[in-house]
């Protein structure tokens, strides 16, 4: 059944290098929504790692504004994307005189266990980039019940998607199209839009989309300002990487009827009126989900059998690739 579009917003959960699932999900959204080509589509971040097709995922996402010019596309930065960008020198500009080496101290006690990347230019790499490109000494991730893939970020499949060995920074920089680095550099860290639906069951005064969420124990406005500015000076950006501390909608936003939407948590959580978490797969062998707002209809890559034919869906060539 086609969803009536009106003013629809689609929030797409973490993709984590699974281009085949992304193609299927996109097809399912297209056949589900009338006037799909006019929707706002918010990608909630974490495009890389775990799956073997990060390069193809970025090709697809980069192609969307040209292929769907009437859509609005929002590409949020996830914690994995920030670390990937840090490793390949594609973070937003740091303040004059700031040295990325100053971000290392908070995590140094974990350096040996995590096997941080070292090599030419390491002093210019943010701590999350060194963790991303490193080789973790522990083989098994007991929290997730899976083996690590290269680093603590499971970054080895991302290197593989570009045809280079894990940890080969020079090789990765040579293999990556400049359009991919620009995509990473231009990711936004927060998206804010007004969306009063008029329906008491779904109504919210404003939507804030951020990869992990906002800290309830801290004032909201300084967090939002740091996200708007894409402040790369912090060793860890909690709204992109936090867990329990960013799960709930901050009370000061809930009082104003503000909806917070994120991915990141390896959960599909739609129980609350003013908090949505759209990350069913967590990069593992589970469906990639999207939510259509304001109806809150969930669409998955697994919904339609005919979308199996899109496993090898071609992406139009991108200039400069």
Per the annotation, the verdict on 321 as an active-site residue is no
Give phi and psi for 14, each to the nearest 5.
-55, 135
Residue of 27, 80, 126, 265 marked catalytic: 80
| Residue whose structure tokens are 């193609």 | 23
The side-by-side arrangement of strands in the sheet containing 72-75 is: 72-75, 40-43, 9-12, 289-293, 297-300
Classify residue 69 as exposed, middle or buried by CB count within 10 Å of its CB (0-12, 13-18, 19+).
exposed
Strands 191-193 and 206-209: antiparallel
Closest listed residue to residue 264, CA positions, set 276, 275, 279: 279
Say what the alpha-carbon torsion angle 272, 252, 42, 244 is, to the nearest 10 degrees: -70
Per the listing, tokens 């995509």 go with 183
Q: How many CB atoms lie within 10 A of CB 316?
A: 9
Tokens encoding 249: 């909608």
* Residues 128 and 85 sit within 8 Å (Cβ to Cβ): no
CB 78 within 8 A of CB 45: yes
Half-sphere exposure of 283 (CA within 13 A, CB side): 26
Q: How far apart are CA 12 and CA 292, in angstroms?
A: 9
Query: Which residue blocks in 203-312 are alpha helix, DSSP H?
Result: 220-229, 238-241, 251-254
Burial of 170 (0-12, 13-18, 19+ CB in 10 A): exposed
**Residue 112 vs residues 131, 137, 153, 158: alpha-carbon distances, Å:** 10, 8, 15, 22
The encoded tokens of residue 261 equal 């939407």
Active-site residues: which are they?
80
């Amino acid at each position: 059944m086609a969803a009536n579009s009106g003013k629809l917003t689609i929030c797409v959960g973490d993709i984590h290098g699974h281009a085949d699932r992304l193609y299927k999900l996109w097809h399912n959204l297209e056949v589900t929504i009338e006037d799909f080509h006019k929707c706002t589509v918010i990608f909630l971040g974490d495009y890389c790692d775990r799956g073997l097709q990060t390069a193809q995922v970025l090709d697809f996402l980069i192609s969307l504004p040209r292929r769907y010019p009437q859509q609005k596309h929002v590409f949020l930065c996830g914690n994995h994307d920030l670390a990937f960008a840090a490793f390949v020198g594609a973070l937003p500009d740091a303040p004059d005189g700031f040295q990325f080496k100053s971000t290392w101290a908070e995590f140094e006690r974990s350096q040996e266990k995590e096997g941080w990347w070292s090599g030419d230019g390491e002093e210019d790499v943010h701590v999350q980039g060194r963790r991303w490109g490193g080789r973790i000494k522990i083989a098994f991730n007991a929290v997730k019940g899976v083996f690590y893939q290269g680093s603590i970020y499971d970054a080895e499949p991302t290197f593989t998607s570009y045809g280079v060995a894990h940890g080969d920074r020079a090789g990765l920089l040579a293999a990556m199209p400049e359009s991919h680095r620009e995509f990473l550099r231009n990711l936004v860290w927060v998206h804010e839009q007004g969306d009063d639906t008029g329906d008491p069951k779904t109504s919210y005064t404003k939507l804030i989309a951020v990869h992990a969420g906002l800290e309830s124990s801290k004032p909201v406005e300084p967090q939002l300002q740091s996200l708007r500015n894409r402040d790369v000076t912090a060793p860890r950006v909690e709204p992109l990487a936090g867990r329990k501390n960013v799960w709930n909608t901050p009370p000061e936003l809930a009082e104003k009827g503000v909806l917070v939407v994120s991915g990141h948590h390896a959960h599909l959580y739609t129980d609350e009126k003013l908090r949505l978490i759209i990350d069913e797969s967590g990069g593992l062998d589970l469906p990639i989900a999207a939510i259509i707002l304001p109806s809150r209809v969930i669409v998955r890559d697994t919904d339609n059998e005919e979308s199996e034919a899109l496993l090898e869906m071609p992406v139009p060539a991108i200039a400069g690739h």
